[in-house]
Structure 1
Amino acid sequence: MFFLLTVTFFLGLARKWTLVTPPDEWVMTESGGALVEGQKPGRLNILVMGIDSVEGTHRTDTLFLLGISPAERKIAILSIPRDTRVVINGVGRKINEVMARFGEYVLRSMIENLMEIRINRSVKVDFQGFINLIDLMGGIDIVIEQPMHYDDHWGKLHIHFDKGPAHLDGKKALEYVRFRADANADLGRIKRQQKFLAQVLAKLQTPAMLMRLPTLLAEGLKHVETDLSLAELLELATAMRGGPIDVQTMSLPGEARYVDKISFILPYKEEAVKIGAKHFSNLMVMELDASFTVPLPASDTPASGVAELAGGGAKAATSPVALPATRSALLPATSSALLPTTSPMPPPAASGAPDLPASGAMP
């Protein structure tokens, strides 16, 4: 979310820039070659990771894919539930722990293979940057759709909101977008994040915010780690200058299930591929490999040393879990060896605590 705001700053500033390269000739370059070489602009896909730094866990508390299409003047935002199940070396894990355990390469490759796309760039942001940015914007007005109450004494997180209109400063805004202690859990949190993002984008387009863009941008870049260069951001903003931009938000389709008594979101493979083709396809020629060697800690290293990516394929050393293609084919028989126990996930009570990992990561 934080990086999308940074990109928006550039899009606003672009109104004052001289167009150097016409949009229909724009190419985003990287060292060693062009991302879209010899072609008119396709989509630039950016993986955005909000890092939870509580007690040094560094899990991806928020994860979404940003697809930017300058030619179509479209931005697609795909939220990926943190409980999405992935399989690494035959072990099912939640996707929010992949970055911390196995690194960014593994996380990016899993999403690429699931959706059959190419991720060109990535961005990692921290909580403090989000707080500072919202404070610099003077806070955000939003309507709280339901009472929200949650206390995590270990993580020092206390969330308390009453139903109705509210003005959120940076700290309160972070609490709002992190809350998931209700019947909809992670999926409800994603909807709130998208609602909040819409309010932020609307405020950024006001004259008062345009005057403060340089300050906002400088603060934002203090808390961003990315392989996007400043030149690329400038080129992107130039290509997107002028006129309205169509922003579409969506979530990775899947179904909540218990696997071995652990709650997961099992993604629908076919629907994920369709979303990839419609909103995140680019013009690169690519080969998707279903397996690769992962340098794991000793405690996590199995005999095979092969990571099975969401999506699977013939090259995997061992057969990965077959992802359900549609809602009518949730758990195919071929997955039984790796999914010994499954059962439908009943919705938790509205007052119940969120599903926290054993390590104690915050909701």
Structure 2
Amino acid sequence: MGLRLLYLIFCRLLGCLLLLGRSAAVNNAEILALRHEVAVLRRQVERPRLSWADRAVLSALARHLPPVLRRHRLVTPGTLLAWHRRLVRWKWRQTAVGPGRPPLPEETVALIERLARENPTWGYVRIQGELRRLGHQVAAATVRRVLRRSGLPPAPQRASQQTWRSFLRAQAHTLLACDFMHVETVFLKRLYVFFVMEIATRRVHVLGVTARPTGAWVAQLARNLLMDLEERAGCFRFLIRDRDSKFTAAFDAVFAGNGTAVIPTPPQSPRSNAFAERWIRTARAECTDRLLITGERHLRTVLTTYTEHYNGGRAHRSQDLRAPDDDPNIIPLPADAVRRRQVLGGLLNEYRTTSPRLPHRPQGKTSSAA
């Protein structure tokens, strides 16, 4: 800004030297032309924008004009006084402090939004109480303001916006899913596999393998499943199955006697039984499509081994990268030695950590006093 001011002063001084060598008539004609140009510009521009250097030059030149001519300049005495008041305010300005309480920390705002999203039925006061239990003193009006700013509606509207994913996740511990899987043997014979999955834990039960499934065979496998589940059989309230003709009334009656309602899926809608369909794809990709199956006995042995691996040695995304049979309360610690266990002849691998063995120290001879 200082260099610009020096440049403007130099240009004006150079212009003043050039005016000394010109006649008065030429200067008067130029003044008249400039006045007319200024009048034309004033009709087009309502309020010109001047920089700080322009204001300084115009103020210095206005001092040498007669009082009558000062009234018709862009820079008037009122303009000079306004500039002076602006300079005074700029000198004594202070950081403005907004009225009211200080803003909430970002951590508290994120916690309020998290509680509202994870608990659709919680109102403002309920969230306020939970925050107080966590050590945050926040008013209910503040909670309402934060949720409105985040675009989250009140509790009744949030509860009505529940998705199918959240609904199924809440009901997963009471759901079972069953389906058939077919495998082509090396002799081009089709075998059928009947299995049941526990939705909450993703634990799979392979119940039987046969070439000719019937309704009576499927009903007997259902009875075997309830016997294997024992006390846990009463925890399941719904069973999802498709509309295969092998699921007869006797099959539904077996689960009805246990208090489990059978829910048939809509026609031609495999996504309604997505968990069972996903296991079929996984079993084929990891096991049956990579082996040549010779018969029922071979397939039964392979699927039994694979099911043990699936339930006890395979990480699942829905289970926080744990196997269904893993204890969620146990945190495995890293060890020096990692052992590999081959499954199905090396088709699959399982890894376990083992503590390093201590070196064997032979016991010395002990002498006994007589």
* TM-score computed with the length of structure 1 as normaliser: 0.24
Normalized per residue, the structure richer in strand is 1
Q: Determine which structure has greater relative contact order: mean sequence separation of CA pairs < 8 Å that are 6+ residues apart, divided by chain length.
A: 1
Q: Considering only CA atoms, is the larger Rg found in Structure 1 or Structure 2?
A: 2
Normalized per residue, the structure richer in helix is 2
